[in-house]
Amino acid sequence: MIEMAEPKKTLNDAGALSFYHRSVLLDEVLEMLLVAPGRTYLDGTLGGGGHSEALLEAGAIVVGVDQDEDALAHARKRLARFGERFMGVHASFGDVAEVLGAMGIHQLDGALLDLGVSSYQIDTPERGFSFQNDGPLDMRMNRLSPVSARELVNTASAEQLERIFREYGEEPNAKKIAQRLTRDRMVRPLQSTFDLVRSVESVSPRRGKTHPATKVFQALRIAVNRELEVIPRGLEGLAQLLRVGARLAVITFHSLEDRIVKQYFQRHSTPTLDRPEWSAPRANPDCIFKKVTGKPVIPSEAEQHANPRSRSAKLRVVEKLPPPLLRTSDAGPPH
């Protein structure tokens, strides 16, 4: 979820940070989701509300879910003009089936997940997501979560930290960095983002354009927010909620989350399975989608130029199939 914030930030009447957004792949999302007036869509990662605003302007009904209360408060104010057609909910998209069920919503005409961290979170020092600004070592998207990055780097073992950096950040110096952190915290606990940056730089000096702390910060953020664990649960919940013909669009920003989405869509959109021990291919009982996008859709050169943070974005879309006995080749969008 990368929504580009303008460099200049001011306080609004409520004292909250005011910011503007440029939502990634906005036109492509609207086209792919077959947006139409009166249909109900889920924005499972509401962020600043840019995608939701576009859906609402097209006449849709939108349920916006976000675990970040700051983002939710901003989006509610931004989208208040749409009245009851917008419903903002403080929750994780991983719990969407239970959350919408409690609201009496049991079917959706489409859904969007824009994964990752927003520019507002990155650019707000007190949230602790960025190595470019000094702030508390936090990184929690949901501030009610019990474990922050500070607790993690100061209490996890060197082996645990190494695994986090290697698996979630694909950091080649994972072991050395983990060992350095455990030594440094014995002298003084790591409290700020710059404390962490200094420890990482002492092991991996800066070379080239990529900051040596980039992968470490990504890994800690993923671990703190359990991001990769939430994705399959959210996809399963949405698969239950989508009407026949409804579409699910997912935007990813790094290879780990994209791999999970790609594999899930592949597993649930393959009509038949074939194994060496079988005499013939068999129908895949888990096939509930058909792919709308073969290769992922990426931002245009113009969008990447206007919003450099969009460069790594990938959009994948699938469409819900009818039950096997009712399938036809021309199943259309929901009505």
What's the angle, vertex CA 133, arms to CA 203 and CA 124, rounded to 5?
Answer: 135
pLDDT of res. 124: 87
CA–CA gap between residue 238 and residue 289 (Å, rounded): 12
Q: pLDDT averaged over the chain?
A: 90
Strand partners, 18: 10
Burial class of residue 12 (count of CB atoms within 10 Å of its CB; 0-12, 13-18, 19+): exposed
The pLDDT score that the predictor gives to residue 119 is 76
What per-residue confidence (pLDDT) applies to 16? 40
Instruction: Write down the pLDDT at residue 210.
Output: 87
- Six token digits for residue 171: 């950091």
Report the first-to-last Cα separation within the chain, whole angstroms.
29
pLDDT at 246: 98
Q: Which CATH architecture has domain 10-119+247-326?
A: 3-Layer(aba) Sandwich (3.40)
Instruction: Give the pLDDT mean for 284-302.
Output: 96
Instruction: Quote the tokens at residue 29.
Output: 């999302």
* pLDDT tens figures, 3-27: 433 333 433 433 344 444 568 999 9
In the chain, DSSP finds a helix count (H) and a strand count (E) of 13, 11
Assess contact for 63 and 136: CB atoms under 8 A.
no
281 burial via Cβ count (<10 Å: 0-12, 13-18, 19+): exposed
Mean pLDDT for 281-302 is 95
The CATH number assigned to the domain with range 121-225 reads: 1.10.150.170
Q: Kindly tell me if the per-residue pLDDT of 327 is higher than 90.
A: no
DSSP 8-state class, residue 296: P
Tokens of 288: 């509930």
Which DSSP string corresponds to 303-322?
A: HHHH-GGGTT-EEEEEEEPP
pLDDT of residue 113: 98
Q: Are strands 282-283 and 272-273 parallel, antiparallel or unpaired?
A: antiparallel
pLDDT of res. 123: 82
Burial label for 278, CB within 10 Å (0-12, 13-18, 19+), is exposed
pLDDT(131) > 60: yes
* pLDDT tens per residue across span 94-127: 999 999 999 999 999 999 999 978 777 888 889 9
pLDDT tens digits, one per residue of 220-267: 999 999 999 999 999 999 999 999 999 999 999 999 999 999 999 999
* Helix, strand, or coil (residue 86): strand
Question: Domain limits of the chain?
Answer: 10-119+247-326, 121-225
> What's the CA gap between 252 and 296, in Å, rounded?
10
Helices (H), the chain: 26-32, 50-57, 69-78, 96-102, 119-123, 149-155, 158-169, 174-187, 193-203, 214-225, 227-241, 255-267, 301-306
Structure tokens that stand for 335 in this block = 């009505």
**Would you call 221 helix, strand, or coil by DSSP?**
helix
325 pLDDT band (50/70/90 cuts)? low
What tens digit of pLDDT does each residue of 34-83 get? 999 999 999 999 999 999 999 999 999 999 999 999 999 999 999 999 99
Instruction: Provide mean pLDDT across the span 144-170.
Output: 97
Q: What is the pLDDT at residue 330?
A: 47
Q: Single out the residue of 219, 118, 123 nearest to residue 163, CA to CA.
A: 219
With tokens 């009447």, the residue in question is: 13
Whether residue 206 has pLDDT greater than 90? no
For the full predicted model, state whether its pTM sits above 0.85: yes
